[in-house]
Amino acid sequence: MLPRKTWSLRSAAAALTLSIAAVGFSSAVLADWEPSKPVEFIAPANPGGGWDTLVRTVSNSIRAEELAPVNFAAINIPGGGGSVAWAQIGRDEKNDHKLFATSPPIILVPLSGRSRFDHNDFTPIARLITDYSIVLVRADSPYQNINDLFDAMKKDPSMSIGGGSAAGSMDHIAIAGAAGAAGLDASSVNYIAFSGGGEVMTNLRGGHIAAGISGAGESSAQLEDGMLRALAVSSSERIPGPVADVPTFVEQGVDYTFDIWRGVMGPKDMSAEAVTYYQDLLARMQETDNWKQSRDRLGWYDAYQNSEEFGKFLDEQYTLFSTVLKDLGLLAN
């Protein structure tokens, strides 16, 4: 059984300076490059999850604000918690017209032995936002708070908790870490992996799983029709916006937080000109009204890092998650 602890991803990045001005390449020298054809912007999962939401929100903001001369075409490549898409992108080195959404699974899935591609096989472009995990149940569920759910899981370890990432990846780590902090054996959580947050919601609504865990931002719309209820969110304080009424784990006596960062990467060996163009484009996008409105609606927090900063952050995440997975007994040999 794991000792009580708080696994906050924010602490791993606390020392980094989130300065838009500190770019990895000289914008003045490389400013003439721009994409010459539509950019493939890949969500490595089915529609409806966090990667898909990020891809479509970014693409819509760029188009609405007329920030680029070409469209950013949203493409879904589901499977393997991201590994299917990464394998395809990994074969497409030096492609300056392909990007993909990324988050902790780019570290977690390889560490758990489920992908031979990791963050070092791609080009970091920019980190964009921070989101949080949220635990959901059906509106008619007997569990009124997170401790009700954990008490039931203690009595019946076979209770299924669904998530939109692979076993050993982000959603699994989020719920297992919370369970461990609540005094359960984190490795015994019966986690069911689905191909994205949309599939989690479908199975939860259908009563096929006892609870689901997903990103708070992508789940806010799922709460609007009253079919689902939220039990806890993994932020240190309540999140303003659509899920403002949802209590944190900490409020309910579970000493646990979990941040979900999301960003953009590209194929390996992209040109320096393309990297600079995209990181600067995304920095400008975050200052637009369209982005700010979408960000607030989804409950996201801006957390921009340029390519160089994001690359260092990913290396730190690798070190952090190696420890987390080892604690859970999920680190691949």
Integer Rg of the chain from CA: 19
Q: What is the pLDDT of residues 151-193, one digit of tens each?
A: 999 999 999 999 988 888 889 999 998 999 999 998 889 999 9
101 shares its domain with 206: no
Instruction: State which residues form the domain around 212.
Output: 132-252
121 and 263 together in one domain: yes
Q: Is the pLDDT of residue 28 over 60?
A: no
The reply to whether 268 and 222 lie within a common domain is no
- pLDDT (tens digit per residue) in 37-51: 999 999 999 898 889
Residue 167 and residue 63 in one domain? no
Judge whether 3 lies within some domain. Answer: no
% of the chain beyond a pLDDT of 70: 90
Query: Domain for residue 1, yes or no?
Result: no
Give yes or no for a contact between 128 and 262, defined as CB atoms under 8 angstroms apart. yes
Is residue 315 one of the residues assigned to a domain? yes
Q: What's the CATH number where 275 sits? A: 3.40.190.150
Count of domains for the chain: 2
Mean pLDDT is lowest, of 5-14, 26-35, 274-283, for 5-14
Q: Select from 194, 228, 252 the last residue of a domain.
A: 252
> Quick check: 304 and 287 in contact, CB under 8 A?
no
| pLDDT given for residue 172 in this prediction | 93
pLDDT in tens, 99-118: 999 999 999 999 999 999 99
13, 121, 226, 328 from 321: Cα distances, Å: 13, 18, 35, 10
Q: What is the mean pLDDT of residues 80-93?
A: 95
103 and 119 in a single domain? The answer is yes
CA distance 31 to 16: 26
Tokens of 249: 């784990």
Residue 171 lies in a domain: yes
142 in the same domain as 209: yes
Residue 331 vs residue 310, higher pLDDT: 310
Please state, in angstroms and rounded to a whole number, the distance separating the CA atoms of residues 137 and 201: 10
Burial class (CB in 10 A: 0-12, 13-18, 19+), 157: exposed
pLDDT for residue 7: 47
Reported as a pLDDT band with limits 50, 70 and 90, residue 17 is very low
Domain match, 175 and 189 both: yes
- β-strands 98-102, 122-138: how paired? unpaired
Query: Rounded to whole angstroms, how far apart are CA atoms 44 and 55?
Result: 10
* Same-domain check for residues 17 and 122: yes
Same-domain pairing of 17 and 110: yes
pLDDT tens, 231-286? 999 999 998 888 899 999 999 999 999 989 999 999 999 999 999 999 999 999 99
Task: Say yes or no: 153 and 15 in one domain.
Answer: no
Cβ atoms within 10 Å, residue 40: 17
Same domain for 106 and 186, yes or no, is: no
> Same structural domain for residues 289 and 152?
no
Return the CATH number at 159. Answer: 3.40.190.10
Higher pLDDT pick, 4 / 52: 52
Q: CA 85 from chain center: how many Å?
A: 15
218 or 326: whose pLDDT is higher? 326
Q: Does pLDDT of 11 surpass 60?
A: no
- Cα 302 to Cα 131: distance, rounded to the nearest angstrom: 9
Q: What is the pLDDT of residue 22?
A: 42
Q: What is the pLDDT of residue 325?
A: 86
- Indicate the residue among 252, 270, 287 that finishes a domain: 252
Token pair, residue 322, equals 């190696």
* Position 31 confidence tier, pLDDT thresholds 50, 70, 90: low
Instruction: Choose one of 232, 252, 272: the last residue of a domain.
Output: 252
